[in-house]
């Protein structure tokens, strides 16, 4: 009877131990399942993604660095160009002031007046060139006349006088070189200026005085 009671106690203890062990095993299984679920739901390791981003940024920096250097060089050239442009603007401003301070050239009215005087002078020269010479009464008189004419032959200026031009308070003598027909070749002379070796000495009311090399001073009428 005692043996059966002892066996029943042992069997009961074994059953209780098996139940406790089964409960512990179940608890461990539940904890393992929870850990696996947490592992699956946990975020991935950010280190590889960060390394990829760093590598991409490094590659972009390597690509952009030459562009930054090129932009710096271009900015330097642009700055130098701006400095050169500023110098050119200063030079142009100085030239403009110089031109504005210079006396004005002949106006269109002055050129028209010179053209009219030129036409009048050409007409006078044509009349003188076609004017017939008076016939000589005798051979002796003709020779004497030619001798006197040769002695009294006036000097022919190497230019045509067109008149007086005034610029402010300054007076000029307008002269057209011999053989020239364009107004662009008209010379405006002041005392001391020379044209074809004839030097202007003085400007009077209706006359001008030129110094002719080897001949002295010569007074010419103004048209």
Convert the pLDDT of each residue in 3-60 to its tens digit. Answer: 666 777 777 778 787 777 777 787 777 888 887 787 777 666 667 878 888 888 888 8
Check pLDDT > 90 for residue 174: yes
Between CA 189 and CA 162 the distance in angstroms is: 11
The distance in angstroms from the start CA to the end CA of the chain is 177
- What pLDDT, on the 0 to 100 scale, is given for residue 134? 47
Across the range 91-118, mean pLDDT stands at 73
- What pLDDT, on the 0 to 100 scale, is given for residue 108? 73
- What pLDDT, on the 0 to 100 scale, is given for residue 138? 46
Strands of the sheet with 198-203, listed across from one edge:
194-195, 198-203, 207-212, 216-221
Check pLDDT > 50 for residue 92: yes
Residue 92 vs residue 80, higher pLDDT: 80
The reported pTM is 0.37
Q: Which two tokens stand for residue 222?
A: 């103004």
Residues above pLDDT 90, as percent of the chain: 22
Check pLDDT > 50 for residue 107: yes
pLDDT tens readout for residues 121-149: 777 777 666 655 444 444 555 555 565 55
- What pLDDT, on the 0 to 100 scale, is given for residue 20? 74
- What pLDDT, on the 0 to 100 scale, is given for residue 118? 78
- What pLDDT, on the 0 to 100 scale, is given for residue 137? 45
**All residues at 6 or more sequence positions from 27 whose CB lies less than 8 Å from its CB, including other chains:** none
Secondary structure (3-state) at 132: coil
Between CA 24 and CA 13 the distance in angstroms is: 16
Closest residue by Cα to residue 106 from 27, 193, 165, 63: 165
Q: Which two tokens stand for residue 134?
A: 């008076």
């Amino acid at each position: 009877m005692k043996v059966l009671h002892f066996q029943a106690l042992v069997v009961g203890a074994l059953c209780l131990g098996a139940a406790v062990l089964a409960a512990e095993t179940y608890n461990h299984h539940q904890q393992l399942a929870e850990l696996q679920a947490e592992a699956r739901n946990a975020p991935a390791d950010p280190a590889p993604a960060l390394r990829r981003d760093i590598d991409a940024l490094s590659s972009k920096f390597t690509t952009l660095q030459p562009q930054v250097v090129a932009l710096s060089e271009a900015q330097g050239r642009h700055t130098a160009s701006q400095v050169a442009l500023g110098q050119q603007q200063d030079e142009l401003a100085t030239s403009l002031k110089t031109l504005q301070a210079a006396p004005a050239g002949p106006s269109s009215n002055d050129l028209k007046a010179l053209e009219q005087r030129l036409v009048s002078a050409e007409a006078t020269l044509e009349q003188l060139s076609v004017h017939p010479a008076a016939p000589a009464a005798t051979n002796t008189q003709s020779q004497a006349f030619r001798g006197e004419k040769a002695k009294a032959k006036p000097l022919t200026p190497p230019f045509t006088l067109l008149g007086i031009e005034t610029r402010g308070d300054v007076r000029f003598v307008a002269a057209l070189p011999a053989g020239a027909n364009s107004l662009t070749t008209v010379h405006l002379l002041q005392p001391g200026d020379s044209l074809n070796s004839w030097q202007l000495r003085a400007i009077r009311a209706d006359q001008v005085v030129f110094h002719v090399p080897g001949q002295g001073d010569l007074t010419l009428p103004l048209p």
